[in-house]
Structure formats: C-alpha cells, structure tokens
Amino acid sequence: MAVNLQSVVEATVPGLGYEVVDLELGQNGLVRLFIDKPGGITVEDCATVSNHLTRLFMVENIGYDRLEVSSPGLDRAIKTPADFARFAGELVRVKMRMPLPDKRKRFVGKLVGLEDNKVVVDVDGERLTIEQAHIDKVRLEPQF
C-alpha cells in the first residue's frame, strides 16, 4: 500500500509544534515544505523538522531526492479556512486564474475573510467576493 506523503507530513509536523503552511512537490523528487509557528521560524526549527521527516520518510519508504524545509516568509500563502479567519483585516495580494470582469488578474486589498466558501477582499472600498476556484494564490502583502 502506497503511503500518501501529504498525509504523513500533515499527521507528523503539528505534533512537533509546527503548522504546515504549504507542501510542494517539485521536479526531480523535490519535496518543499513551508512551516510556521507563533513567533516565527528559525533555522533550527527547519533543521528539526527536516531531520525528523528524513528519518520518517526512510521508515515509511517514501521516495524523494531532496527535502527543503523553510519559513513561509512575510508574504505567506493564505490557503485554509483557518488562514482566512486568522489573517482577516490584513493586506493581501491576490492572483487570479481567470480575470475579473474588469480584466484584472492581480490586485491588493484588505482581506475580509471567507463567506459561503468565497474569498472576500476590500479593494479601495469596493468589496469583491470571489469563488476560490477562480483564485490562483492569496498571499500576505508585507507592510514596512
């Protein structure tokens, strides 16, 4: 029976005290994992998770060539319902799969949250309600 990499990661990493922000499977056996925790991620945190997963993947016989573990960065992706609730009120950058009726595919606005499984963003006072299927990415827009 094949072991599901995503399931293994999502079952393991929270037990180590970290949130799984994103998991990407790249070309040539690359596994890229983004983790977070309150207060942010250090190099030591990345090493801890990497060492643990390396041993676990060996035990579970999960094939990969390279594992990268890192912080999601200041412009972290917003993906889960919990993310949309947690970051409501923050500035976000939205990239669309399909353009909006006004032809925009990218814009920045204040995240309102999720309503009826649709992403709601306030862009310059205009409230946009967008189907999640039409969105490619939502990321925090860092403020300096």
% the chain with pLDDT above 70 = 98
Which pairing describes strands 30-36 and 66-70: parallel, antiparallel, or unpaired? parallel
Residue numbers of the chain with a pLDDT score lower than 70? 1-3
**Is the domain defined by 81-140 classed in CATH 3.40.50.620?**
no
As to burial, measured by CB atoms within 10 angstroms (0-12 exposed, 13-18 middle, 19+ buried), residue 121 is buried
- Looking at residue 98, its pLDDT comes to 86
Domain ranges of the chain: 5-70, 81-140
Q: Read off the amino acid at residue 119.
A: V
- Looking at residue 3, its pLDDT comes to 62
Q: Are 82 and 90 in contact (CB under 8 A)?
A: no
- Please write the tens of the pLDDT for every residue from 5-23: 889 999 999 999 999 999 9
Which pairing describes strands 19-25 and 30-36: parallel, antiparallel, or unpaired? antiparallel
Structure tokens at 73: 């960065």
- Looking at residue 100, its pLDDT comes to 82
Please, what CATH class does the domain formed by 5-70 belong to? alpha beta
In angstroms, the CA 34 to CA 52 distance is: 15
- Looking at residue 4, its pLDDT comes to 85
In angstroms, the CA 28 to CA 33 distance is: 15
Helix segments in the chain, DSSP class H:
5-12, 43-60, 81-86
pTM here is 0.78
- Please write the tens of the pLDDT for every residue from 88-107: 999 999 999 988 888 889 99
